[in-house]
Amino acid sequence: MIDIKGITKSFGSLQVLKGIDLHINKGEVVSIVGPSGAGKTTLLQIIGTLDKPDSGSIMVDGIETSNLSKNKLSEFRNQHLGFVFQFHQLLPEFTAIENVMMPAYIAGVKPKEARAKAEELLHFMGLSDRATHKPNELSGGEKQRVAVARALINNPSVILADEPSGSLDTKNKADLHQLFFDLRDKFGQTFVIVTHDETLATLTDRTIHLKDGLIINDEKPSETTTI
Ligand SMILES: Nc1ncnc2c1ncn2[C@@H]1O[C@H](COP(=O)(O)OP(=O)(O)OP(=O)(O)O)[C@@H](O)[C@H]1O
Ligand SMILES: [Mg+2]
């Protein structure tokens, strides 16, 4: 599903990624952990085609993304990837349901169809009664669930999440994490999640430890090794 080979990336004289190889299967929930500055966000952005590597190859759904033009890349992201960030990044002037529908509009889905899918997703998130509210009328947890619904609307192959629960309290955090596993169990949704949350990391199918630009450990929780 995702196949990454030999990814390197430098910012000026700072080499942030020093040769990353990674294979992620469909339906896996993978966490990426590591100290601040280890290159987690950089790696996620490169997987998400929001940034380009200096060298190496990235295949997502059998498509080599590092060769795509700018226009093709936006189309690719819209159709194959879903993003969830630490801060929801919902558009403030649009309602929850309009925010969820947005990527479908961009993909050219008929408004009626997009609305029906958005309603279904918001229902799944337990947010049907918040659908017509704007982001500033929603709680932090609700906003993140709307962001997850938005990430899901075009049936992405993978959802890439960077500290998705980083701004939430304990209860909302636990609910959001449960939602990821529900989506994996019910729909086979694949997730790659950068997190500092140890509880989440131990729940995921695999935890990738990044340090100084390299994967130093790639483990299933049952095979815990010391680092
Ligand atoms: N656009 C950029 N220009 C220059 N340096 C950058 C840029 N983006 C990231 N860096 C540097 O690259 C290194 C890795 O950054 P990255 O954001 O990937 O770390 P991270 O593992 O996500 O850290 P954190 O846990 O704090 O979010 C850091 O030293 C950072 O300062
Ligand atoms: Mg980061």
- DSSP letter at 52 equals -
| Ligand 1: nearest atom to the Cα of 210 | 21
How does strand 81-84 pair with strand 158-162? parallel
Are the C-beta atoms of residues 215 and 209 closer than 8 Å to each other?
Answer: yes
Instruction: List C-alpha distances in Å: 36 to 83, 113, 159, 194, 196.
Output: 21, 42, 22, 11, 9
Whole-angstrom distance, CA of residue 218 vs CA of residue 148: 26
- Output the pLDDT for position 19: 96
Per-residue model confidence (pLDDT) at position 63: 93
Which tokens in the block code for residue 168?
């939430």
Reported as a single tens digit per residue, the pLDDT across 152-175 is 999 999 999 999 999 899 999 999
pLDDT tens digits, one per residue of 53-89: 999 999 999 999 988 999 999 999 999 999 999 887 9
pLDDT of residue 223: 56
Cβ atoms of 9 and 205 closer than 8 Å: no
For residue 16, the ligand closest to its alpha carbon is 1
Structure letter (DSSP) for residue 43: H
Cα(56) to centroid of ligand 1, in Å?
A: 19
Q: Which pLDDT score is estimated for 221? A: 65
Interval between CA 217 and ligand 2 midpoint (Å): 18
For ligand 1, which residues put their CB under 6 angstroms from it? 11, 14, 16, 34, 36-42
Q: What is the helix (H) or strand (E) element at residue 42, kind and residue range?
A: helix 40-47
- Ranges under pLDDT 50 in the chain: 226-227
Distance 115 CA to ligand 2 centre (A): 33
> pTM of the entire structure?
0.93
State in Å: Cα 11 to ligand 1 middle: 9
